[in-house]
């Protein structure tokens, strides 16, 4: 699959604009809002990194599936992303509440409303380890010791 160019301001696209991380099939998937993430190069491949806390329902899907997607949206979908980031797919049909429409992408899913989606194949995961973490980060971000699991995926398609 050809990788098209993807030019972006990496310090804005997650932090300010937000994204959706999704995993699963059309029949069984979940997605959540993410604003922590990365993009770059690892093992000579274009990669995307996401961080998923243990409590997220989406985590069951990022664990189960070989692929995940990270998708980006115009500002008019801010409220939809807010719903996807405050409600859990465990408790409700949050896609319907957010007004988003799932569509297939490779062996994964994204949403019709996305302006860009990166389809990623999981290459690596690891739980963030407090042993290597600055104390102020531990104190501020992890009072409950619920360290994020980092997933690094190879970008295999850009839509």
Ligand X SMILES: Cc1cc2nc3c(=O)[nH]c(=O)nc-3n(C[C@H](O)[C@H](O)[C@H](O)COP(=O)(O)O)c2cc1C
Give contact residues for ligand X (rule: CB under 6 A): 18, 30, 32-36, 51-53, 56-58, 82, 85-90, 148
For residue 110, the minimal CB distance to ligand X (Å) is: 16
* Minimum distance from residue 16 beta carbon to ligand X (Å): 10
Cβ atoms of 53 and 148 within 8 Å: the answer is: yes
- Nearer residue to ligand X within complex by CB, 2 or 143: 143
Any idea what DSSP says for residue 26?
A: S
Q: Which two tokens stand for residue 155?
A: 């970008």
- Taking CB atoms, the residue at the shortest distance from ligand X is 85
Closer residue to ligand X in complex, CB, 94/121: 94
State the nearest-atom distance from the C-beta of 154 to ligand X, in Å.
Answer: 19
Q: Return the number of the residue (20 or 155) whose C-beta is nearest ligand X.
A: 20
Percent helix, strand and coil across the chain, each rounded to 5? Answer: 25, 40, 40
Give the nearer residue to ligand X in terms of CB position, either 17 or 154: 17
- Nearest distance in Å: CB 51, ligand X: 5
Distances (CA, A) of 16 to 9, 37, 59, 134, 136: 10, 12, 23, 24, 23
The partner residues of 124 in beta bridges, in order of sequence, read 152
């Amino acid at each position: 699959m050809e990788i098209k160019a993807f030019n972006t301001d990496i310090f804005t696209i997650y932090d300010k604009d937000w994204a959706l991380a999704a995993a699963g099939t059309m029949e069984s998937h979940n997605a959540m809002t993410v604003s922590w993430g990365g993009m770059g190069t690892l093992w000579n491949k274009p990669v995307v990194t996401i961080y998923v806390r243990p409590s997220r329902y989406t985590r069951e899907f990022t664990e189960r599936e070989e692929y995940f997607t990270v998708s980006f949206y115009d500002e008019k979908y801010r409220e939809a992303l807010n719903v996807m980031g405050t409600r859990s797919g465990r408790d409700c049909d949050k896609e319907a509440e957010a007004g988003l429409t799932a569509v297939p992408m490779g062996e994964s899913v994204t949403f019709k409303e996305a302006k860009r989606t990166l389809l990623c194949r999981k290459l690596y995961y690891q739980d963030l380890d407090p042993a290597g973490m600055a104390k102020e980060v531990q104190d501020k971000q992890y009072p409950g010791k619920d360290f994020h699991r980092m997933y690094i995926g190879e970008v295999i398609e850009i839509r």
